[in-house]
Amino acid sequence: MRSLTTGIVAAVLMWLAASPAVAGPTLLFEPATGKVLYAEDIDDIWHPASLTKLMTAYVAFEAIKKGEIHLDDKIPCSLVATLQPPSKVGLKVGQTLTVQQALQAVIIKSANDVTVMLAEAISGSEAAFITRMNETAKRLGMTHTSFVNTNGLPDPEQLTSARDIAKIARAVTTEYPQYASYWAMPAMHIGKRRLGSHNALLKTFPGADGLKTGFTCDSGYNVVAAATRDDHRLMAVILGESSGNERAIRAASLLEYGFQNYDWKQIFNTTTIDNQPMDPNFKTVLSVRDTVAAWGCGGHRRHMAGGKHRSKHKIAASKQKSAKKDASAPDDASAALKGPETDGGVPDDAAAPPKAASQATAD
């Protein structure tokens, strides 16, 4: 185990030395105390993508606690839910899931259709549920956050910051520890269908146990990554990476750094996500789509499984389809690279795919 850890640390140091500057805000913290171990641009305003679902789950857990809904209740799929673009479960109108299945589908699969099902079951409508999300964000001190949908699909008014994401991640895990297994599950089944997580660290990083990924062209690749070693848990918030692999590597490097360097001196660390002074020069929301390595975002050629590129005529055809789609839905996000970057080839939060090979989502 010691040699494995040494190898990981060496790889991390080599990557940090060779890698370009971090694309977006970064935060490493201890959820039990809120202590900040590393912070960079944590008050810059960002699009959350499917990190939105941390709040969706929190409000649902709260509703269960209050007895408004129960884990074994069956909730139906509405027409509005079926119209949500991928990532989704893909139920038909009238089909049902238990609340437990729905929560797991939201957390593991990042199912955009199921967030609407939960919202309608708990609050009667998605709009009413969104109001509750924003009220909860205000109560938790998420000063840079606003929600206009339940799933994080592209919208210019869906906003947050790394600090705010850390606050909801801390709240949802410390207040509702009974659902810890949901965040750590690499996959689930609905009937015979397997739904896999987009969080690569669950399979590759020792001790990884959550939480959530997110992707749209404008937000880049986001993640709240959690890991526990020797009963000590750390969380890393990474926003705006250019690919799923970069997201996973950066998160792993921060977590490894935290575990290797956490010592008695942290007793004297009093800086937390709540009391760290707000950066007066925080940046307003901006898009990183020009740096994102996903087809339809910044013009990068999309790598196919096996390392092959699509032929020129297929690229041209996809551009034409993308242009037609953009005319009607300019904020839809496109798919990320296949392989280890996106479990199953579907980044979590985006728009409907023109082909299976060019899927779009919001993870």
Question: Which sequence positions are flagged as catalytic?
Answer: 50, 53, 110
Of 280, 316, 352, nearest to 87 by C-alpha is 352
- Amino acid letter at 16? L
55 bridge partner residues: none
- Amino acid letter at 362? A
CA separation, residue 322 to residues 121, 161, 193, 296, 352 (Å): 34, 29, 29, 7, 11
347 burial via Cβ count (<10 Å: 0-12, 13-18, 19+): buried
**d(C-alpha 270, C-alpha 91), whole Å:** 48
- How far apart are the two ends of the chain, measured CA to CA in Å? 32
Pairing mode of beta strands 220-229, 208-216: antiparallel
Pairing mode of beta strands 96-98, 74-76: antiparallel
